[in-house]
């Protein structure tokens, strides 16, 4: 959509109100739904998922750059997970001060000690980016993070293109509506899970979604479940408590929960300390990790997605360890890195602290946590680092350059929120899947994208936080 025509459309208040109502109906019609925060355990009443009224323009070259590097990121994560020496080196400082990461690492060590039983590895990840304009006028994509655990929105992202196509058609933008590309990550994610189930080799065994109790984004998960059921693959949803109460390993270390053999454990919870409500939850995690079931992700892949590993990968020469004699691949991956800095208790870490305290608005302070809402910005960086700058506690964090994307204008639709024109910032993620059996990479693909947009008044993002809105890229040359 040409900029002038887009601006004209954004100012047409009567048409905007009409389109907003139509967008809500279209979202309901296409199953673009979430539960209400007031009734997280019930689907008796649902609402449309938060969404931008219009798709956001994205340079096609940047979209393709991020999409094409995803298979390299899949291989990188997989290789890291198979390199215990690297994980030990990378996380050595973090596990001395971060209890949660240390607990995960202890499970990792125990699994290595007992011996890895399952040669099938299943990875579902998502690499998230923003793009910014450089001094030479060119734009570049910069990675925010790579998520290796419970990557969300792959189901619901499949429904967004049709909603935005409908909006553009009603707005008289027929040509633009045809520029929205198809997006089917749910199919791709389910295909990878199904391949791991098939390789496990027992048609009676089920795929277990390990879930939390309160799940507002249930439809997102159900869409992937439905794809599996299309292939006559049985699924079940269990919580940590269920595994604690009825889970057991037989003499061959096969995992049974409620007397059903589990071929694949698909973790949709377990990435935050509060997910482990008791010692029994930790015991259940260890039992699953030591079982013959395929874990998605297994414990080493979980650790591969930590912020500290992301920071270590940016150090000179580290990527070459995983892509020897592949300078072109190293260049492609490294081109997506933003500046990343250590806070270890050495001179380099001291320089990082001084740099952050001098110009905090240039950076993001990141703890080893997933799920959104954990990052620290601006003067809050000074407050946190001011307390721990001389303490080993600072090693629980990494520092990253704050990516400075160009804002766009859009309307943001969310139940109960007023409709107003906002300055917005967007991020774009790509879903990667891989399946490895022994040394053979059976599958390695990029299966779709996820775009999220927020008002520029918010620092952190996350749809579950009530900040991000689902979006769609409108590609232009």
Residue spans of beta strands (DSSP E) within 335-459: 340-341, 363-367, 376-377, 397-401, 408-413, 421-437, 440-455
Pick the closest to residue 293 from 236, 332, 367, 217 (CA basis): 236
DSSP summary character for residue 88: H
Q: Is 446 helix (H, G, I), strand (E, B) or coil?
A: strand
- Helix %, strand %, coil % of the chain (to 5): 45, 25, 30
| CA–CA distance, 386 with 420 (Å, rounded to integer) | 38
The residue behind tokens 């053999």 is 261
Q: Is 232 left (phi over 0), alpha (psi -120 to 50) or beta?
A: left
CB of 292 within 8 A of CB of 205?
no
Per-residue pLDDT of the chain (477 residues; tens, 9 = 90+): 667 678 888 889 999 999 999 999 999 999 999 999 888 888 888 999 999 999 999 999 999 999 999 999 999 999 999 999 999 999 999 999 999 999 999 999 999 999 999 999 999 999 999 998 776 767 889 999 999 999 999 999 999 999 999 999 999 999 999 989 999 999 999 999 999 999 999 999 999 999 998 888 889 999 999 999 999 999 999 999 999 999 999 999 999 999 999 999 999 999 999 999 999 999 999 999 999 999 999 999 999 999 999 999 999 999 999 999 999 999 999 999 999 999 999 999 999 999 999 999 999 999 988 766 789 999 999 999 999 999 999 999 999 999 989 899 999 999 999 999 999 999 999 999 999 999 999 999 999 999 999 998 866 555 455 689 999 999 988
Predicted confidence at residue 460, as pLDDT, reads 56
Give the number of other Cβ atoms within 10 Å of residue 251's Cβ. Answer: 5
The structure tokens listed for 412 are: 């943001």
DSSP string over 250-262? -TT--EEETTEEE
User: How far is the CA of 54 from the CAs of 337, 362, 416, 466, 470, in angstroms?
Assistant: 29, 30, 19, 19, 10
CA 275, 280, 283, 287 torsion: positive or negative?
Answer: negative
Domains with residue ranges and CATH for the chain = 8-338+403-476 (no CATH), 339-402 (3.30.1490.50)
Quick one: 404 exposed, middle or buried, by C-beta within 10 A (0-12, 13-18, 19+)?
A: middle
Pick the closest to residue 51 from 423, 452, 457 (CA basis): 452
Predicted confidence at residue 6, as pLDDT, reads 84
Angle, helix 70-81 to helix 60-68, in steps of 10 degrees: 30
| φ, ψ (nearest 5 deg) of residue 265 | -100, 115
Predicted confidence at residue 133, as pLDDT, reads 77
Predicted confidence at residue 369, as pLDDT, reads 81
DSSP string over 142-163? EEEEEE-SS---TTGGGGHHHH
The structure tokens listed for 216 are: 């507002």
Pick the closest to residue 301 from 192, 147, 117, 431 (CA basis): 147
| CA–CA distance, 220 with 226 (Å, rounded to integer) | 10
């Amino acid at each position: 959509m040409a900029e002038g025509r887009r601006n004209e459309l954004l100012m047409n208040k009567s048409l905007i109100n009409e389109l907003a109502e139509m967008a809500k109906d279209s979202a309901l019609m296409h199953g673009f739904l979430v539960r209400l925060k007031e009734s997280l355990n019930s689907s008796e009443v649902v609402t449309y998922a938060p969404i931008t009224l219009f798709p956001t323009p994205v340079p096609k070259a940047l979209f393709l750059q991020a999409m094409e590097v995803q298979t390299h990121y899949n291989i990188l994560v997989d290789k890291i997970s198979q390199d215990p020496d690297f994980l030990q080196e990378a996380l050595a400082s973090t596990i001395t001060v971060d209890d949660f990461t240390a607990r995960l690492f202890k499970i990792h060590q125990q699994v290595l000690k007992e011996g890895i039983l399952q040669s099938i590895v299943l990875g579902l990840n998502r690499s998230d980016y923003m793009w910014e304009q450089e001094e030479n006028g060119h734009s570049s994509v910069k990675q925010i993070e790579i998520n290796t655990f419970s990557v969300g929105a792959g189901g619901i992202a499949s429904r967004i293109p049709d909603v935005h196509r409908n909006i553009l058609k009603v707005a008289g933008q027929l040509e633009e509506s045809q520029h929205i590309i198809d997006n089917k990550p749910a199919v791709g994610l389910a295909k990878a899970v199904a391949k791991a189930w098939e390789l496990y080799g027992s048609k009676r065994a089920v795929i277990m979604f390990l879930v939390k109790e309160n799940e507002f984004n249930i439809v997102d998960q159900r869409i992937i479940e439905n794809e599996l059921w299309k292939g006559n693959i049985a699924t079940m949803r269990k919580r940590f408590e269920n595994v604690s109460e009825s889970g057991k390993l037989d003499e061959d270390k096969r995992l049974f929960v409620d007397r059903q053999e589990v071929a694949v454990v698909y973790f949709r919870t377990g990435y935050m300390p509060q997910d482990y409500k008791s010692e029994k939850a930790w015991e259940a995690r260890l039992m699953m990790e030591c079982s013959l079931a395929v874990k998605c992700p297994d414990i080493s892949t979980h650790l591969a997605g930590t912020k500290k590993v992301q920071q270590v990968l940016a150090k000179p020469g580290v990527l070459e360890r995983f892509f020897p004699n592949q300078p072109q691949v190293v260049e492609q991956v490294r081109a997506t890195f933003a500046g990343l800095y250590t806070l270890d208790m050495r001179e380099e870490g001291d320089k990082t602290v001084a740099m952050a305290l001098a110009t905090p608005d240039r950076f993001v302070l990141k703890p080893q946590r997933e799920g959104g809402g954990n990052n620290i910005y601006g003067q809050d960086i000074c407050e946190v680092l001011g307390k721990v700058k001389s303490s080993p506690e600072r090693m629980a964090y990494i520092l990253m350059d704050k990516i400075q994307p160009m804002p766009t204008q859009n309307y943001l639709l969310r139940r109960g929120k007023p409709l107003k024109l906002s300055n917005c910032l967007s991020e774009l993620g790509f879903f990667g899947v891989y399946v490895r059996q022994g040394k053979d990479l059976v599958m390695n693909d990029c299966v779709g994208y996820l775009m999220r947009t927020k008002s520029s008044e918010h620092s952190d993002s996350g749809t579950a936080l009530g900040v991000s809105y689902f979006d769609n890229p409108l590609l232009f040359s």
